[in-house]
Amino acid sequence: MLLEGKKALIFGLANNRSIAYGIAQALAAHGARLAFNYVGEAIKKRVEPISQELGGEFTFPCDVCDDAQIQAAADLAREKWGELDILVHSVAFANREDLNGRFVDTSRDGFRLALEVSAYSLAALCRAFEPMLHEGSSVMTMTYHGSTKIVQGYNVMGVAKAALEASVRYLAYDLGPKGIRVNALSAGPVKTLAASAVSSLKDIFTHVEAHAPLRRNITTADVGGAAVFLASDLSHAITGEVIYVDSGMSQIGVVG
């Protein structure tokens, strides 16, 4: 198995439709050991049974906006595992009103919140977990094509994903001398809790099915497969990259 005994901390599991769920399933199928964060009691109730189902070893509270919670998570993981091989960041948030109107109307607070939860948190996690990461460890985050192209209704989240992808490159540079890799997976649209805030989602699904080279939408298992590759030694020399898992949709210019 590609990931036999590797220890993977997964941030961003909300339910069994989460991209983090597809990733966790795939990592576990390849032999990885898992642990999950949760934010608040409602998510905890959903995460704990899923963690049990997937053989997770522990769960822990961690709001990525709270440095004390991040440090507590790092301390707990160090106590339980010592070292960390895989860190999955599958976390994003923006106020619904900032995804519905015009980007020009985004409030200062809405902008700050979206960028803090969805982009800054990756640097915050890397900093806190760096002492546990080692030669061969892999950090990965989830992004979307709205970072580089206009996607109606994606608005401030597109700006946050642009910041996230730039963060991936700078973090790859900072952590690279230790042999730690940092990459992003750019997933096509998937029906999840977070995605339901994007008002144009239904149209995007239809568009992908009609025009993507593979003529189908992706699944969380598709993202899981790419995550296994990024987590494994097969991708030993890949860092600072954004790898698309989108049925080829991002390669399309104009098709009829």
- Which x/- pattern, by CB under 6 A, does the window 78-97 give for ligand NAD? ------------xxxx----
**Closer to ligand NAD at the Cβ: 64 or 86?**
64
CB 130 within 8 A of CB 182: no
Residue 15: CB minimum distance to ligand NAD, A: 6
Contact in structure between 18 and 6 (CB atoms under 8 Å): no
Query: Which residue in 235, 240, 143 sits closest to 186, CA to CA?
Result: 143
Stretch that binds ligand NAD, among 63-71, 80-88, 165-173, 235-243 (CB under 6 A): 63-71
**Cα separation of 143 and 116, whole Å?**
15
- Choices 73-81, 138-146, 171-179, 229-237 (CB under 6 A): range interacting with ligand NAD: 138-146
Indicate which residues carry an active-site annotation: 144, 154
> Which of 236-250 are b and which e, b meaning 16 or more Cβ less than 10 Å from the residue's Cβ?
eeebbbbbbbbbebe
Residue that is written with structure tokens 């050991």 in the block: 33
Member of 35, 190, 208, 249 binding ligand NAD (CB under 6 A): 190
Task: State which of residues 166, 193, 221, 234 lies at the interface with ligand NAD (CB under 6 A).
Answer: 193
Site string for ligand NAD, 213-252 (x = CB under 6 A): ----------------------------------------
18 lies in the site for ligand NAD, by CB under 6 A? yes
Nearest distance from residue 184's CB to ligand NAD, in Å? 9
The count of chain residues that interact with ligand NAD, using the rule CB under 6 A, is 26
Query: 114 or 132, CB closer to ligand NAD?
Result: 114
- The SS3 of residue 70 is helix
3-state secondary structure 39-93: CHHHHHHHHHHHHHHCCCCEEEECCCCCHHHHHHHHHHHHHHHCCCCEEEECCCC
Looking at residue 31, the DSSP 8-state letter turns out to be T
Residue from 28, 39, 125, 156 touching ligand NAD (CB under 6 A): that is 39
CA separation for the pair 55, 58 (Å, rounded): 9
Two tokens, residue 116? 């803090």
Determine the Cα–Cα distance for residues 139 and 42; give it in Å rounded to an integer.
27
Q: Which residues bind ligand NAD (CB under 6 A)?
A: 12-14, 18-20, 39, 43, 63-65, 90-93, 117, 142-144, 187, 189-190, 192-195
